[in-house]
Structure 1
C-alpha cells in the first residue's frame, strides 16, 4: 500500500482540502512536506473556501456547531474576554477570523477591538483606539492586492455621533481617517453586517427607505447596493449565500409570522438584484422577534432550498432547526439557561468557517 509521502502533490492537496481544519492543526507535525503545504497561503485560502459553514457562539466556552452532523465542540474563552463576555457587542467573520468588539465593565461607554482566530486560539487586541457607543465595524481587504493585508473599518452609524470614518491597517498597525468617505444613513450597532469577498455589507435606512450599503475596501468608500421599498426595516437579517452573494431573511410579525428568503445576483456588477429564494407560512414557524436585549437569529442557506437557523427562545434556550417551504423540521434545543443565568444568549451566534489564516496584527 502506498504511503501519503509517495502520493502526487495534487492528490495530497485534494485529500487535505477535504480534511477538517481542526485535524490539519494536528497534521502539521506529521512531516515537513505537510507542514509546508498546510502553512502555504494559497492552500490556506483554498481550504477555507471549500470548508462548510458552521455556527459559533461564545458563552462560558467557545462553542462551534457542526451543521452536518449536529455535533458541538467547546474550547476556552480567550483570556481577554473572560470577564467581559457578556459585554461583547459584535463579532464579524472574515476568512475564519473574528473581529471582536466588547466593553470592559469599567468603561461601558467605550469599546475594545481585537482580531481572534477561534481555531488557533490566537487573540490580538487592536491598540490605542477606543470605539464609542454607536460606532459600527467591519473587516475586509483590497481584492487587488495579495490576500492577508486586512483592514478594520470603524464609523458612526447614527445621528447622535459625529460622522467619522476610520480605517485600521493591520500590517502597519496604524489608524487613519477617511476624509472623503462619508456614511449618511442609519444602521444599528447590533446589525453586525456581513463580510463577503473582501467587502462589508449592512442593512440600513435613510429616512423611510430601506436598502443595503457596502463598503469597498479596495477604493475605501461606501456605495448603495439595492433598495427594499416593499419590506419594513425591522425583522430583516442579512447573510452570505454561496460564498460570494448576499441573502436576506425577512419575517412578517403578523401571525403566523411568514418567512421570506431572498438571494442576490453577482455583487460585482453595478446594479445588484435580489430574487425570492423561497417563502413559507406555517403555524409552527418560530418568531424571530427582534428586540435589542434578545439575540438576532443566525442562519445559513443549505441545499434543497432550506435554511438552518439558530435562535433564542424567551432568552432562556437556544434552538436550531431547518426551515423550507414545507415548514420546520429537525428542531431541537442546543442549550438551556435559567432567566438569571443567560450570559451569552444575547449574542446568539455567528456563521463561521474555521481556517488556518494567521492573525495579521
Structure 2
C-alpha cells in the first residue's frame, strides 16, 4: 500500500491544491511537510487559482461573517439543469460582528456586545486572528478600512470616528509599530457607505468640507493611499450623485478594478460602471450594464445593506439586498438578484434574517499574503 508520504511531490501538490479553504487549517496541522508546503509561494499561487474557480464570496448575515460558494452556471444556458445558487460553506464565530472590511484576503471585523466594541483582523487562509487595541474606545458608528504599504508590504488600518467638539477624526494603525497615529485631512467621507479596498488602497465616496459649509454637495471618489498615508485628489464619478434621492455602492472586480452601482430614483434604473484605469490620482470608466428596477421585484435597501459584485465573463451582476417577507410581518429575508444586459435573470433566496436591519457585505474573496 502506498502511503501519502510516498507520493510524488507534484501529485501531493495537486491533491492539496483542491482542498476547500474552510478545511485548510486542519490540513496544515496534519504534518510539518504539508504545513511548509502551504507557505511556499508557488504552491499558494496554484491553490489560489483553484480557489478562484469556486467563486467564494464573503457576506454578513445576522451579525455573522459567512463564507459563501457562488454558482452562476446555467444562467445563459437553459439546457443546464443546475440553477444559480449561493450556499454557506463556512462561518467566522468571534461574537456579534457589526461591520466587516476586506483587503487582500484579510477580514477586519468590528464586534459589539452592547457594552464594548472590539476590532479583530482575521486571516482565513492561516486560521489566525489578531485583536487591535484602540487609542480611544471604539464605537459601532466608527468606520474602518484596511490596506497595505507598497514599500514594505506592511498592513495598516484607517479609522474614521467622531469625538466631542470635533467634526471627524482620522487615525492610522501600523501593524509593525503596533500603534495608532492621528492624521490630518480636509474631506468628509459619506458615513453610511463603506469604502472598498483595491491594490492596497481604499476608495470612498466623499465630499469636500468647504463645499459642505457652503451648502454645495458635490460628491466624488476619493482614494486613501496607505503608502503615503494621505488622501489623493478628488476623482470624478460617471454620474451626478445626490444621497437623498439616489443610491450608490462601490465594489471591486478581482482586486484589479473598481465597480460602482448607481440607482436613480428619477429614472428607475440601475447603472453599473467599471474602471478602465484607476490609481490614487486618476480614474476612467466604462459602462458595464443598465437595468430598469421594475424588472427586479420589490428590490430596495435599508441604510447600508446593499452590496454587489460583477462577473465580467458571464456579463452579469449579483446584487445583494433585503426584502420584507410579508407586508404585515417584521420578519425579513435576504435575497440576491442576478441581473444582466437584458435585465432581470434570477433571484436567489439567502434565508430568513434574525435581525431587523443587519449589515450585508459581499466581496470577491482571494487568498491573502502570509501576514
TM-score tier (shorter): 0.7 to 0.9
| 1:313 to 1:65, Cα distance in 2 relative to 1, 3 A | same
Instruction: Report the alpha carbon displacement of residue 92 of structure 1 after superposing the two structures with TM.
Output: 0.6
Q: Does 1:335 align with 2:346?
A: no
Which of 271, 279, 283 is the aligned partner of 1:272?
283
Contact 1:157 1:187 (8 Å CA) reproduced: no
Provide the C-alpha distance between the structure 2 equivalents of 1:250 and 1:5, rounded to a whole number of angstroms. 56
Q: 3-state DSSP class of the match of 1:27?
A: helix
Contact 2:224 2:280 (8 Å CA) reproduced: no
Which residue pairs with 1:313 in the alignment?
323
Q: Does 1:71 align with 2:76?
A: no
| 1:172 to 1:139, Cα distance in 2 relative to 1, 3 A | same
Q: 3-state DSSP class of the match of 1:144?
A: coil
Contact 2:301 2:322 (8 Å CA) reproduced: no
Q: Does 1:216 align with 2:201?
A: no
Q: Does 1:126 align with 2:129?
A: no
| 1:72 to 1:284, Cα distance in 2 relative to 1, 3 A | same
Provide the C-alpha distance between the structure 1 equivalents of 2:118 and 2:242, rounded to a whole number of angstroms. 28
Contact 1:201 1:214 (8 Å CA) reproduced: yes
1:13-65 residue CA offsets vs partner (Å, 9 max, x unmatched): 56655543224333324554332120336654774476334132242654322
Provide the C-alpha distance between the structure 2 equivalents of 1:100 and 1:281, rounded to a whole number of angstroms. 34
Instruction: Report the alpha carbon displacement of residue 279 of structure 1 after superposing the two structures with TM.
Output: 0.9
Greater strand content: 2
- What TM-score, normalized to structure 2? 0.77
Q: What is the 5 A alignment of 1:100-111?
A: 100-106=109-115, 111=117
Contact 1:64 1:74 (8 Å CA) reproduced: yes
Q: Does 1:174 align with 2:196?
A: no
CA-atom RMSD in angstroms: 3.3
Contact 1:56 1:352 (8 Å CA) reproduced: no
Provide the C-alpha distance between the structure 1 equivalents of 2:298 and 2:180, rounded to a whole number of angstroms. 41
Q: 3-state DSSP class of the match of 2:224?
A: strand
Aligned length: 336
Which residue pairs with 1:112 in the alignment?
118
1:126-146 residue CA offsets vs partner (Å, 9 max, x unmatched): 11432357542211111122x
Which residue pairs with 2:76 in the alignment?
none
Contact 2:104 2:200 (8 Å CA) reproduced: no
Instruction: Report the alpha carbon displacement of residue 354 of structure 1 after superposing the two structures with TM.
Output: 6.1
Unaligned runs of 5+ in 1: none
Q: What is the 5 A alignment of 1:81-230?
A: 81=95, 84-85=96-97, 88=98, 90-106=99-115, 111-118=117-124, 122-129=128-135, 130-132=137-139, 135-145=142-152, 147=153, 149-156=154-161, 161-178=166-183, 181-188=184-191, 190-206=192-208, 207=211, 208-224=217-233, 226-228=235-237, 230=239
Q: Does 1:326 align with 2:342?
A: yes
Unaligned runs of 5+ in 2: 72-84, 212-216, 325-330
